[in-house]
């Protein structure tokens, strides 16, 4: 009875993992009818382990140019589906780095990132399990885990964006899908078309995350392979035949895509940061900003809270007044509820001696949160040279090099604030400049409430033309393209 009915979850997973069959799945990445890329996920079964290989190719059209991001990751799993090692490479227009990770003595997970001549290493606490995005469906499916109503959680490291974040999972429904199994070339349309189909039983998993990951509806089959994943704003990951995912993408009309984005019109979203687009920051003084949002469901976007309020489909941003800048505490903040915004993480090295020393130098013994935040924002805005970067946006590298894009400035500001006991967090979204909306990252510091500050515009508080979409995230193409999808913004 004990062996059969009271086995540990690890034992059940180990037994189930023996039934994992090798194979590859291919996916079409699209927004509406427009394909932006493709992906594949391959499982290889070894003698005492599994190898999970993920490939991603994503083209983001912006200003008449296709910004391509290519990534490949190889994860080795034990027979209990725990990740033992990870090696990945990402090469793109705006981000370029490699990742190496492994479980060391005592069960600690070591992660090292390298890119643009710099490196970063971090060690997670023992017992802190980490998964890649294609692993949690496998773990959820095996061992009898696919039951409607079940809830679970995972901590995910995305090797294609260097983001480490928790997610919450809930199995909400069960259904069937018809999936293209094979394709043939149609000389009339000069494209591959499906010719055979499979009917697949799948379970709907609602995925809620943070840091620019929003909410996602993912359908997985009984083997833990993704069938379809969608966001409310229309970004879709769809399993299909290899030719439909890869060959049609390779032979698409790229000239038409580039021409369509060469001269964006008023109020359009430009898939680039201000610095990458060559647009100088234009600090404004708008106290209130109203915009109507469309394109689909807004669920999963961090629109409400603090300075932002959603009334129907209209977002109202109200710049913080003088009263909101008067903090009701002295540094360092001792509120346990804000502890998460005082601790270091993979990129925010607030405990590094150099980062902490620079922060203390700027604070000069002052314990007033508002005055200290103002000094930090101004120093980052004036001392960190504006320069597009493809490296790792970690605080130590930015402090040493004194250059970077909006991500780098934000990470350094947040790290120095946390080093002084000032709760701070990065946020991501859009900023309006020159009549258009650009990708942007800035920060929020906690005074009496969360206050938006922009180390690229040298603003505390930031003007109301900053539209926050994600809390805890940075500007990464693989995140925000999915998050934005078909989002439209109209003046209100």
Position of tokens 């003088």?
A: 322
Q: Are 113 and 98 in contact (CB under 8 A)?
A: yes
Identify the pLDDT of residue 32: 82
The tokens describing 62, both together, are: 């912006």
Identify the pLDDT of residue 96: 87
Q: Judging by beta carbons within 10 Å of its beta carbon (0-12, 13-18, 19+), is residue 16 exposed, middle or buried?
A: buried
Identify the pLDDT of residue 431: 93
DSSP state letter for 243: I
3-state secondary structure of 491: strand
Domain ranges of the chain: 9-250, 269-491
pTM for the structure as a whole: 0.89
Q: Are 123 and 129 in contact (CB under 8 A)?
A: no
The tokens describing 47, both together, are: 């003698």
Identify the pLDDT of residue 300: 80
φ, ψ of residue 452 to 5 degrees: the values are -75, 130
The tokens describing 182, both together, are: 């094979």
The span from the first CA to the last CA of the chain, in angstroms, equals 66
Rounded to 10 degrees, the C-alpha dihedral 438/235/92/191 comes to -120
Q: Are 440 and 429 in contact (CB under 8 A)?
A: yes
Domain 269-491 sits in CATH 3.30.310.50: no
Q: Are 316 and 467 in contact (CB under 8 A)?
A: no
Identify the CA nearest to 420 among candidates 349, 344, 464, 367: 367
- CA 44/CA 484 separation, integer angstroms: 34
Element holding 451 (H helix, E strand): strand 450-453
Mean pLDDT by runs of 10 across the 492 residues of the chain is 63 59 93 91 90 94 87 91 92 87 83 81 76 90 84 89 87 96 92 94 89 75 93 92 94 81 86 84 82 89 92 94 91 94 90 95 96 97 87 86 91 97 95 90 94 95 94 78 87 77
φ, ψ of residue 163 to 5 degrees: the values are -105, 130
pLDDT in tens, 118-143: 778 888 776 667 889 999 998 888 86
DSSP strand E in 50-190: where?
50-62, 65-77, 83-92, 96-103, 109-115, 118-124, 151-158, 163-186
pLDDT in tens, 413-444: 999 999 999 999 999 999 998 889 999 999 99
Residues of the chain with pLDDT > 70: what percent?
94
Kindly report whether the peptide bond that precedes residue 461 is cis, defined as omega within 30 degrees of 0: yes
């Amino acid at each position: 009875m004990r062996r059969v009915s009271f086995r540990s979850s690890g034992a059940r997973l180990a037994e189930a993992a023996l039934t994992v069959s090798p194979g590859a799945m291919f996916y079409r990445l699209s927004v509406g009818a427009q394909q932006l890329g493709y992906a594949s996920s391959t499982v290889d079964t070894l003698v005492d382990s599994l190898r999970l290989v993920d490939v991603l190719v994503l083209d983001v059209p912006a200003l008449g140019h296709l910004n391509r991001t290519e990534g490949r990751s190889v994860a080795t799993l034990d027979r209990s589906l725990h990740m033992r090692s990870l090696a990945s490479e990402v090469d793109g227009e705006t981000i370029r780095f490699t990742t190496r990770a492994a479980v060391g003595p005592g069960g600690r997970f070591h992660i090292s990132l390298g890119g643009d001549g710099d490196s970063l290493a971090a060690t997670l606490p023992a017992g802190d399990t980490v998964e890649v995005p294609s692993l949690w469906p496998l773990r959820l499916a095996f061992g009898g885990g696919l039951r409607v109503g079940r809830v679970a959680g995972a901590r995910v490291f995305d090797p294609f964006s260097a983001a480490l974040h928790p997610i919450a999972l809930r199995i909400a429904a069960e259904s069937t899908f018809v999936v293209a199994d094979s394709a043939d070339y149609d000389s009339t349309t000069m494209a591959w078309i499906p010719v055979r189909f499979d009917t697949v039983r799948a379970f709907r998993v609602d995925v809620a995350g943070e840091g620019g990951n929003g909410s996602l509806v993912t359908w997985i089959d009984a083997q833990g392979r993704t069938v379809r994943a969608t966001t409310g704003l229309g970004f879709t990951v769809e399993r299909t035949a290899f030719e439909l995912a890869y060959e049609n993408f390779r032979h698409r009309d790229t000239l038409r895509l580039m021409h369509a984005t060469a001269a964006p019109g008023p109020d359009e979203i430009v898939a680039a940061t201000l610095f990458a687009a060559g647009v100088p920051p234009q600090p404004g003084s708008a106290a209130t900003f109203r915009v109507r949002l469309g394109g689909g469901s807004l669920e999963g976007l961090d629109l409400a809270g603090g300075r932002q309020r959603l009334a129907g489909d209209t977002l109202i941003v109200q710049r913080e007044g003088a009263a909101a800048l008067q903090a009701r505490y002295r540094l360092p903040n001792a509120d346990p509820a804000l502890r998460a915004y005082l601790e270091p993480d993979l990129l925010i090295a607030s405990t590094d001696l150099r980062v902490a020393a620079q922060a203390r130098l700027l604070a000069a013994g002052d314990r007033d949160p508002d005055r200290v935040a103002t000094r930090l924002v101004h120093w980052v805005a004036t001392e960190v040279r504006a320069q597009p970067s493809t490296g790792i946006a970690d605080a130590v590298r930015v402090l040493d090099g004194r250059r970077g894009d909006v991500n780098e400035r934000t990470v350094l500001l947040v790290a120095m604030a946390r080093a002084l006991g000032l709760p701070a967090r990065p946020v991501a979204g859009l900023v309006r400049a020159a009549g258009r909306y650009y990708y942007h990252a800035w920060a929020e510091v906690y005074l009496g409430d969360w206050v938006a500050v922009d180390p690229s515009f040298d603003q505390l508080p930031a003007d109301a033309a900053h539209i926050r979409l994600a809390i805890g995230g940075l500007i990464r193409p693989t995140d925000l393209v999915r998050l934005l999808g078909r989002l439209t913004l109209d003046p209100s």
